[in-house]
Amino acid sequence: MGEEQVRVRVEALAPVYEAQAAAWAARLGLPLDGEAEFALQLGDDGLQLAELGPQAPGPVRVDFVEGATAHRRKFGGGSGQMIAKAVGVQSGIRPRVLDATAGLGRDAFVLATLGCELTLIERQPLVAALLEDGLARAAGDFEVGPIVARMRLLGGNAIERMKGWEGEAPQVIYLDPMFPHRDKSALVKKEMRLFRPLVGDDLDAPALLEAALALATHRVVVKRPRKAPIIEGPKPGYSLDGKSSRYDIYPLKKLQA
């Protein structure tokens, strides 16, 4: 299901944000009023996406400075984290990574915190808007600004972008296609409930993998729910298993310092 079946409007949460809200509405081709299931809201905390209705969960926004992301940055385990091992972070090695399914940017932010240069692609325009807003707000923070400076966001279709890539190719491409994730955390559940009607499942995961393998110079990493099948196509060289997730690694060339 794409966003054309789901009605979304843009709302300013205070009069001072009306001009900005109108600018986002024009850019995204969304109305500023009328019946809708979702609202992209602009307020003191930046841009957020909210499901409308009495039983709706709270809004979702991207915040790299406070909350869960800040906690993980400070106490998440540094380069010992499984995602760091999966993309090849080692002593003296900080690969250039393309996160082709960026979502809300959490995994990319972890890698940027560790010193990797990141390019992010997010094709769902509302999710990309939340991510752009989160990066812009974080840029002014004393501690987090230098981290998000290592993150460059691109919109559009990742498969087409990878096929038409210009400039230096990424050493590592990271994919986390939408899938019925088994993560039971309340945060992920809330986000899945919000985004699934807008994003749907990535039925083109095999094409994503194929494009990634053609572009990456050193490896492709695919994050999957732990018990999910591998993506159709070439078999991974090896996998790293965590509690709820698994990283399938397709090595192409050894990363060197």
Binding-site residues for S-adenosyl-L-methionine, in ranges, read: 106-107, 122-123, 176
CA dihedral 142, 144, 147, 152 (to 10 degrees): -110
> Rounded CA gap, 182 and 220, in Å?
23
Annotated binding-site residue numbers: 106-107, 122-123, 176
Nearest of 96, 72, 92, 67 to residue 82 by alpha carbon: 72
CA angle 199, 219, 81 (to 5 degrees): 75
DSSP string for 111-149: HHHTT--EEEEE-SHHHHHHHHHHHHHHHT-TTTHHHHT
> Rounded CA gap, 249 and 236, in Å?
5
